[in-house]
Amino acid sequence: MGARTLRGMASLVAVTGAWLSRCPAEQMARQVVMAGTPYEAPYYVKIGDEGWGPKVCVIGGLHGNETAGYVAAGKLANWQITRGVLIVMPEAHQAAIRRHERAYPGNMNAMFPGDPKGDAMQQLAYAIWRVIDYHRPSLLLTLHESIGYHKRLPSNYGYTLCHDFAVLNTFMDLCLLRANADIPDPLHQFGVFVEPHPVCPTYCAWSKLRIPATSIETCMEDDLALRVQYQLMMCMAFFDEAGLGYEQTDLPRLSTASQAPRTALEVWSPHLLALEQGRTPPASYGILRVGANVAGAKVYVDGYYKGCTPASTAVATSDAGRRVKVTVKLEGYVPYTGEADVAPEGYPTVIAELTPVLPAAPSTAATEPGPD
C-alpha cells in the first residue's frame, strides 16, 4: 500500500497575543475564545518545523468534573510539536472546572454547534465550534471521563473511544491497536463505543465538516495519575497513526511508535465519506500543501474551504493527475490565486505571497478656496 493511498480497502472567537517563539522546533500562538467573560478559554496553535504534516485538534474540559481530560490536555499544550500542527484547548469550560461540576450552568458539550445569539453556554459552544471550523483539522479528539467501566457495564463509557458514526471504526481500530499494546490490564484497554450524540462536537465535526472525531474516555474509579497516563497514551496512539511529530517528557513513547501510519491522515476523510455514501473510494490521492507568508490565511481549493494556513488536504487523482485552483485570502491582504498540479501520491506545495492592501491615495481633485 502506498503511503498516500487506500487501495483495496472497503465572531465570538476573540484572538489575542502573537506568534511566540516557544522552542527552536516549534512556533506557538496563544489565542482566546470568549475573551473578557467568565467563560474565557485559551487555546494554543503549535506548528512544528520538520516539514509539513497533519493538523490535529484536542479539546479538554468540556465537562468541569472530568479532571483527567483537562489535565492531560494541559500536558499536551507543553509538548513540543516537530511535524504538523496541534491545536489544543485544555480547559474549554473554565466556569464548570472552577466549580468541579459536570455542567454549569448547563451542559455546554450538548449545545454544538452553538448559537452566537443564545445564552452564555450556547455562545461558548459556538465560539469553540468556530475554532474547529476555521482551522479544519483532519482529526478532532475530545478528552472525557465516565463514572464506570464500559467492560463492566456496556452503558458506561470508561476506556472507550466513544464516537458517533460506525464508518469511522476502521481508523479508530488502528489507533486502538497502538495504545492497547502497552496497556496490560484488559479492564483498562480501550474499545470502540458507537453512540450518536447529535449535539456534541464530535458528531458535528463529522456530519458538518467531515472531520473524523471521537472522545477518549477514561474511568473516574481509577487514580487520577493513571487516568491522565491513559489519556495521553491514547492521544499518542492517534498522533502516531496520524503522523504528527512530537516530543514529550511526561511518559515513554508507545512501543508501536516506530510503526508507519497506514496512510496519510488527510486521506481518511474522503475515503470514509465515500464508504458512508456507498461509493467506491478513489484509488489514489495526492496531498496538497498550502502555506503563506502570513499565518492563518484562509485556503480554498477549487472553491472549497480547506482551513487556514498551513493547510494540508487530500486531492483525489487519476493516473494522469489533476490540476486544481488554489485561492488564499486574509483580511487586509490582496488575495492570492494560482494553480497546482497534483499527481497520485504526490506532495505539491503552494506558498502564497500575500501583500497588504495599500491605503487609498488621498484625493487630488481641486477644491473651492475657503473664505478669508
Q: What CA–CA distance (Å, rounded) separates 179 from 189?
A: 8
**Residues pairing with 142 in the sheet:** 59, 215
Sign of the CA dihedral with 260 first, then 189, 142, and 202 last: positive
pLDDT beyond 80 at 362: no
State how many domains the chain has: 2
Among 26-30, 68-72, 108-112, 182-186, name the one with the lowest average pLDDT: 26-30
Q: What separation in angstroms does the CA of 127 have from each of 66, 109, 268, 352?
A: 21, 12, 26, 28
What is the mean pLDDT of the segment spanning 213-227? 98
Indicate the pLDDT class of residue 16, thresholds 50, 70 and 90. very low
260 pLDDT higher than 80: yes
227-251: pLDDT as tens digits: 999 999 999 999 999 999 999 999 9
pLDDT of 296 over the 50 cut: yes
Residue 118 corresponds to which cell in the numbers above? 443564545
pLDDT for 10 equals 27
pTM of the model: 0.91
Is 277 contained in some domain? no
Reported as a single tens digit per residue, the pLDDT across 318-359 is 888 999 999 999 999 999 999 999 999 999 999 999 999 988
**Same domain, residue pair 57 and 119:** yes
Give mean pLDDT, residues 301-316: 96
Cell triple for residue 235? Answer: 492521544
66 found inside a domain: yes
Whether the predicted pLDDT of 190 surpasses 50: yes
Q: Does position 7 have pLDDT exceeding 80, yes or no?
A: no
Give yes or no for residue 300 having a pLDDT over 70: yes
pLDDT band at 20 (very low <50, low <70, confident <90, very high): very low
- Calculate the CA dihedral of residues 34, 40, 41, 43 and round it to 10 degrees: 60
| pLDDT of 23 higher than 80 | no
The answer to whether residues 72 and 164 belong to one domain is: yes
> Is the predicted pLDDT of residue 49 greater than 90, yes or no?
no
pLDDT at 46 over 80: yes
Same domain flag for 100 and 241: yes
Average pLDDT over residues 238-267: 96
Mean pLDDT of the 132-146 span: 98
Shared-domain flag, residues 54 and 192: yes
Pairing type for strands 41-48 and 191-194 reads: unpaired
pLDDT tens figures, 52-70: 899 999 999 999 999 999 9
Here the CATH number for the domain that contains residue 25 is: 3.40.630.10
Residue 369 has pLDDT above 80, yes or no: no
CATH of the domain at 330: 2.60.40
For the chain, the average pLDDT equals 91
User: pLDDT value at position 51?
Assistant: 65
Which residues span the domain enclosing 128? Answer: 19-247
pLDDT tens digits, one per residue of 84-126: 999 999 999 999 999 999 999 999 999 999 999 999 999 999 9
Which alpha helices (H) appear in the chain, and where do they start and end? Answer: 67-76, 94-99, 120-135, 169-180, 201-209, 224-242, 265-276
In the numeric block, the cell 491514547 is attached to 234
Omega into 105 within 30° of 0, i.e. cis? yes
State the cell numbers at 73: 490536555
Tell me, yes or no, whether 77 lies in a domain: yes
Domain identity same for 59 and 116:
yes
Domain boundary among 247, 270, 302: 247
Q: Which residues pair with 352 in a beta bridge?
A: 292
Confidence of residue 370 (pLDDT cuts 50, 70, 90): very low
Q: Are residues 291 and 221 in the same domain?
A: no
Bridge partners of 323?
341
**Above 60 in pLDDT, residue 15?**
no
Pair 339, 210 in one domain:
no
**Residue 183 pLDDT:** 98
